[in-house]
């Protein structure tokens, strides 16, 4: 698997967050975090889709699960 671009924010991504297809965005909150993925092939017109919301008690280092969820959405 090739490396995935990842950005970290404190609010949901928008059309102003131009990123390549497949980029993951982690949005940190006090008790949890959201993961979005950019699903448009045109990086200048991004479309961010919410993959899920995860409590901080789940290790964000469980990269395998996160990658699986993103890959399932992109394929």
Distance of CA 1 to the CA centre of its chain: 16
Residue 41 placed within a domain: yes
Q: What is the pLDDT of residues 30-64, one digit of tens each?
A: 888 899 999 999 999 999 999 998 887 655 556 67
d(CA 58, CA 61): 8
SS3 assignment, position 67? helix
Residue 31 placed within a domain: yes
Residue 22 placed within a domain: yes
Domains identified in the chain, total number: 1
SS3 assignment, position 2? coil
Instruction: Show the tokens assigned to 16.
Output: 């102003």
d(CA 6, CA 25): 6
Residue 1 placed within a domain: no
Residue 59 placed within a domain: yes
Phi then psi dihedrals of residue 35, to 5 deg: -125, 125
Q: What is the pLDDT of residues 3-35, one digit of tens each?
A: 778 999 999 999 999 999 999 999 999 888 899
Residue 11 placed within a domain: yes
């Amino acid at each position: 698997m090739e490396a995935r671009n990842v950005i970290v924010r404190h609010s949901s991504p928008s059309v102003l967050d131009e990123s390549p297809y497949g980029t993951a965005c982690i949005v940190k909150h006090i008790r949890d975090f959201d993961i979005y993925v950019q699903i448009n092939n045109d990086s200048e017109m991004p479309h961010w889709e919410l993959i899920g919301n995860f409590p901080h008690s789940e290790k964000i280092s469980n990269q395998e699960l996160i990658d699986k969820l993103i890959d399932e959405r992109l394929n």
